[in-house]
Amino acid sequence: MPNILKKLRKPDSRIRIKMERTHYGMKFFLPESLSEDELLRLLVRIPTAAYKLPEEQGIALDFLNRKCSRRLILHMINSIVWEKGIKIFAWLSKNEESLKLFSAAGLSLTEPEKIAPPDPVLTENIKVAEEHREPVSALKVVYNSMRSGQRIESEGDVIVWGHLNPGAEIVAGGSVIVAGRLLGVVHAGGYGREDVFVWAGCFETPQVRIANKLCYADPKTTTCWRKSVLITLEDGTPMIRENKFEKTAKEI
Amino acid sequence: MARVIVTTSGKGGVGKTTSTANIAAALARFGKKVVAVDADVGLRNLDVIMGLENRVVYNFIDVIEKVCKLNQALVKDKRVPGLYLLPAAQTRTKDAVTPDQMVALCEELKPEFDFILLDCPAGIEGGFKNAAAGADEALVVTTPEIPSVRDADRIIGMLESMGKSPIRLIINRLRPNMVQDGDMLAKDDILDVLSIDLIGVVPEDENVIRSTNNGEPMTMSLDSPAAQAYLNIAERLLGRDVPLMDLESYATRGFLSKIKKFFKGKKK
């Protein structure tokens, strides 16, 4: 099929990820006919609860004959394995190059023969560690402007009560609010979350990142330039909305 | 006890050395005892701009390494009483000095002077850290260009984290004509981003090139807009309340420019 037709072709909604019950948990057969992005989208859409298995059980991913790219593996680890907290026992494939890539990344290539019973000491240690783990702060507030070269990385949400100057950077697992001028780089949903937003008091940055999406803004064509905006992802597409109710609020 | 002030910028070529030389000369003209320390080891220029390169024998690395005494390395400017230069080594690198040694050198200079001006090298690495280590206050020089403002912002952040205060801004090489035409960042645009106190605006002036090549800081004799701006900065450093220069008057242009502007305005 010519490339142009491939691009125009809509993904077949009937294509599903086949799941099989195994002695170690589950085995996912990942269809080859889907593009990498479509496959990722499909895996992300599976509710986190569906990945939940008993503690000693896990999942094997079978890529069949697909030639996997580094990008796909990276995104799978980032958006599926870490984000949903699942245990992958094996990365299977019939494609030699994919197997080489898995091996180079140190991933297990064989399905477990039998499950070892959980080590009671280890289980107890994990419980103790979980109990004493320091809570991750869900919100980080910066009460001044961030200057060029300054960087914040947070697992939760970030609020900058000032400007984000050019050359300053925020990477947040959650959403980001810059109350003043947004001139630097913001990455909301830096670990793959798509249900996040960026709110800027004055939007003046040429680039915003949300989850795995990169959005560019041209000052000459962006109507929201230097305005108060909200940026979100809707069905995987970045959306920018101008604050048009400010005047009404002032009138009140 | 001297006030130790570092002149820095982040970006190169914005006028740190020129500013240091002129402010030092202006402060000396106001009767203060001033030493300008060239902290740009390996790329020294302050001696050339001050016209003292022929009289340099020792440098501050020699002082630190105890090759000579401090008084032997200090070069006295005979044109202005109270003005001294402590040159940098041209044949060494910035690793030849540590921040602690720089602090010790400044401590040694403090009882002898009213002002110690440290001319910082460009960049944010060791050279900057050494120069800034010895200082209490900072003058950040920027030109009205986006890269320069961004680098200044970076430097201000680093100076703030080092606890330097006050940190004040010099906007150098401003062209009022270009600002009026909207082709150059205006003073307020820069202050909006950098959010620090402004100590002076120095207009673009060809006398700067002339004085640099002649080895005579403008504030010593020449009557020019830039010289006046540097004199004003020196006065503000002394705590005097001097209003900012009216740079609009320097924007007055010739007949042809006015016609050009008229038609440019009509197009809009």
Token digits for B54?
A: 């022929």
Q: Do B157 and A163 touch (CB under 8 A)?
A: no
pLDDT tens, A201-250?
A: 999 998 899 998 888 888 888 888 999 999 999 988 999 999 877 665 55
Beta carbons within 8 Å of A85's beta carbon, 6+ residues apart: A48, A51
Closest CA to B27 of B244, B242, B245, B230: B230
Closest CA to A28 of A75, A76, A55, A64: A64
Highest averaged pLDDT of the listed ranges A22-26, A87-91, B34-38, B42-46: B34-38
CA distances from A229 to A180, A245, B57, B198 (A): 11, 11, 61, 31
Token digits for A103?
A: 């091996």
DSSP secondary structure letters along A165-216: -TT-EEEESS-EEEEEEE-SEEEETTTS--S-EEEEEEE--SEEEETTEEEE
pLDDT at position A215 is 86
pLDDT at position A31 is 86
Angstroms from B167 CA to nearest CA on chain A: 14
Nearest by CB to A147, from B146, B156, B192: name it.
B156
pLDDT at position A17 is 79
Token digits for A104?
A: 């180079």
Q: Is the pLDDT of residue B120 over 70?
A: yes
Q: Which residues of A touch B146 (CB under 8 A)?
A: 166
CA distances from B16 to A67, B49, B206 (A): 57, 11, 17
**More reliable by pLDDT, B220 or B190:** B190
CATH number, span A12-114: 3.30.750.24
Instruction: Please state, for a pLDDT cut of 70, what percent of chain B lies above it.
Output: 92
pLDDT at position A8 is 37
Closest CA to A176 of A223, A229, A247: A229
Q: Does domain B3-267 have CATH number 3.40.50.300?
A: yes
Q: Is the pLDDT of residue B21 over 60?
A: yes
The full set of domain ranges for chain A reads 12-114, 139-251
Closest CA to B248 of B172, B175, B184: B175
- Say how far apart CA B126 and CA A29 lie, in whole Å: 55
Domains A12-114 and A139-251 share a fold: no
Closest CA to B54 of B222, B212, B215, B220: B215
Closest CA to B191 of B155, B228, B144: B144
**Number of neighbouring beta carbons within 10 Å of residue A237:** 9
Q: Is the pLDDT of residue B121 over 60?
A: yes
Helix (H, G, I), strand (E, B) or coil at B116: strand
Q: Is the pLDDT of residue A134 over 80?
A: no
B154 touches chain A (CB under 8 A): yes
The answer to which of A122-131, B64-73, B165-174, B226-235 has the lowest mean pLDDT is: A122-131
Q: Is the pLDDT of residue A125 over 80?
A: no
Level-2 CATH architecture, domain A139-251: 3 Solenoid (2.160)
Q: What is the mean pLDDT of chain B?
A: 90
What average pLDDT does the segment A123-149 reach?
78
B195 touches chain A (CB under 8 A): yes
Nearest by CB to A167, from B150, B192, B195: name it.
B150
End-to-end CA distance of chain A: 60
Q: Do B157 and A166 touch (CB under 8 A)?
A: no
pLDDT tens, B197-214?
A: 999 999 999 889 988 888
pTM score: 0.66
A79 touches chain B (CB under 8 A): no
pLDDT at position A83 is 79
pLDDT tens, B130-148?
A: 999 999 999 999 999 999 9
Q: Is the pLDDT of residue B223 over 80?
A: no
Q: Is the pLDDT of residue A252 over 60?
A: no
Dihedral of alpha carbons A216, A221, A224, A226, sign:
positive
Instruction: Please state, for a pLDDT cut of 70, what percent of chain A lies above it.
Output: 84
What average pLDDT does the segment B180-207 reach?
93
Q: Is the pLDDT of residue B227 over 50?
A: yes
Instruction: Please state, for a pLDDT cut of 90, what percent of chain B lies above it.
Output: 76
pLDDT at position A180 is 94
CB of A224 within 8 A of CB of A203?
A: yes
B216 touches chain A (CB under 8 A): no
How many Cβ pairs closer than 8 A exist between chain A and B?
Answer: 32
**More reliable by pLDDT, B1 or A146:** A146
What average pLDDT does the segment B77-87 reach?
95
**Residue whose token pair is 């402010």:** B23
Angstroms from A164 CA to nearest CA on chain B: 9
pLDDT tens, A167-196?
A: 899 999 999 999 999 999 999 998 888 999
**One-letter amino acid of B199:** I
pLDDT at position A27 is 86
Q: Which residues of A touch B189 (CB under 8 A)?
A: none
Q: Is the pLDDT of residue A46 over 80?
A: no
- Say how far apart CA A131 and CA A121 lie, in whole Å: 15
- Say how far apart CA B123 and CA B158 lie, in whole Å: 12
Backbone φ, ψ for residue B160 (5° rounding): -60, -45
Nearest by CB to B195, from A145, A149, A150: name it.
A145
Angstroms from B195 CA to nearest CA on chain A: 9
Closest CA to A154 of A181, A175, A180, A185: A175
CB of B9 within 8 A of CB of B155?
A: yes
